[in-house]
Amino acid sequence: MNVKILVAIQTALTLIITSSLYLIMIRLNEIIKKKDEKIVNVDKVLKPGIINDHYIVVLNDNATFIDEFSRTNWIKSAIDDKVENFSKITHYYSIPSYAAWNTPSESLKILNKEGNKVNNIFKGFSARLSPEMYQYFSKHPYVKYIENDVAVKVDDVIEEDINDEVPRKDNEVNAEGNVYYLSHCRWNLDRLENHDRTTNNNYIYKFSYESASNVYIYILDTGVYGDHSTFTDKIGGDVRKKRVIMGKNFVDGERNADLNGHGTHVAGIAGSTDFGVAKRANIVSVKVMGADGVGQWSNIIAGLEWSLNHLKGTSTRKGVVNLSISGPEVQSGSAAIRSVISQGLHIAAASGNNGDNACSYTPGSSSKDGVVVVGNMAEDDYVASSSNIGRCVTIFAPGTKITSASTSNNDKRVMSGTSMAAPHVAGVMALLLSVKDMTPKELYNEIRNLASRGYLRNIDRESPNLIAYIPKSAYVFDRDSLPVPPKTLDENNKEDILIVQ
């Protein structure tokens, strides 16, 4: 064969091979780039809705992490963080804590020792899974079910002008015995202590020196601005003590602070000195929502578990969770809620701002499990048109044009929504729990039994015509059972005792 022909053939083959390798490299780079982009989109740009490739895996009650790790190692062997399959566990769940981390026999011993049987065990994990790993876990005999993680947004709120909220100059606090009177407060606090609506704007809120100082209110939200002056005690005792505990931050890439404002506003309603229902409750910030107000259920479940474990480490073990969030039904979210309630954690939750049936949303559908689901009412006793309603609503509370704390320079802001209604009830629950030990079921029934009945003016047939109510027993106590409050108010330094906005 001619040498020139051989050289030509060799050159052609070299070009073909080189081109093929080049095309393969381009294709591989495209695949890796797409996977990297997919990870970035999932992890850094979170939008409400289903999160692709992220799952919550719920295990059967008889599965334990100890057994599986030590014997078959099936979770560990199935998960890695390589780019090829980008599978990685983000949270482990075990409610109660010993349910998954001890062997079944050890868990049984603990249950028998405690003398109670836990019927609502929740165990599992959340993970980013490749399609192969999803198939692996969905078919595994220890897996009860697996579902997509879901991102939700804090309840949509309406920000109102604050021009009509100018403080009156004659605001004052008077003390009679152990009961304090906050005169000329805003309508929302007054509405909680009167069956009949006050119509002359002479609003008064009565509270005790104690005011739920033995109760923890867990704000699962965007965080809490704990340095706001309204979270400082101003009545007796340590008048400069700050009452916000900066708990766990579950939002990756953000510092443990409220970068949105929603969580601080909610916390202010539940338990701040100036705006709050339970004025000396211990506020615990559990950050599960980001600066844009969006969070994922895998983090919310982790926040519920953390709150339960934190409460068990307190001396009183009296705690209320506030969930001012709403989104589509999430099976694992509802299961986790049932589990923490069975462990004694009380929950108040927003019904949602969709103008729809609360039963179609989570946590709005969880009233049947003991969650106090709260709808939004306005100053004129009309149900807000945006509030979710129906048989899954437990009770209504003020939620329209509510003034509370802001993250800006110790300022205040006005917001509306079931996000604002829920913390009113969380505060009421804290006050009732402060004076009487109750299970979540007992407190749920107490809230309904005490409610102002028949006052809502545009209620539908399925919703309860109930408005949250604070009885005198929540702020008038046996004096011998309480710390000694200040005998008189210092008229020259009144603002140091209670700043009324």
- Please list the alpha-helical segments (H only) found in 343-464: 418-435, 440-450
What is d(CA 37, CA 55) in angstroms, rounded to the nearest whole number? 18
The 3 state secondary structure assigned to 324-358 is CEEEECCHHHHHHHHHHHHCCCEEEEECCCCCCEH
Q: Which of 87, 208, 367, 419 is catalytic?
A: 419
Cα(first)–Cα(last) distance of the chain, in Å? Answer: 100
User: For residue 5, what are the CA distances in angstroms to 19, 31, 181, 339?
Assistant: 21, 39, 105, 79
Contact 419, 269 (CB under 8 A): no
Q: Which of 228, 262, 265, 424 is catalytic?
A: 262
Determine how many CB atoms are found less than 10 A away from the CB of residue 227: 12
Q: Which of 221, 258, 274, 369 is catalytic?
A: 221
For the chain, the maximum distance between any two Cα atoms, rounded to a whole number of angstroms, is: 117
Per the annotation, the verdict on 262 as an active-site residue is: yes
Q: % helix / strand / coil in the chain, to the nearest 5? A: 35, 25, 40
Per the annotation, the verdict on 81 as an active-site residue is: no
CA atoms within 13 A on the CB side of 278: 31
What is d(CA 284, CA 430) in angstroms, rounded to the nearest whole number? 13
Per the annotation, the verdict on 419 as an active-site residue is: yes
What is d(CA 242, CA 195) in angstroms, rounded to the nearest whole number? 33
CA atoms within 13 A on the CB side of 56: 26
Q: Which residues are catalytic?
A: 221, 262, 419
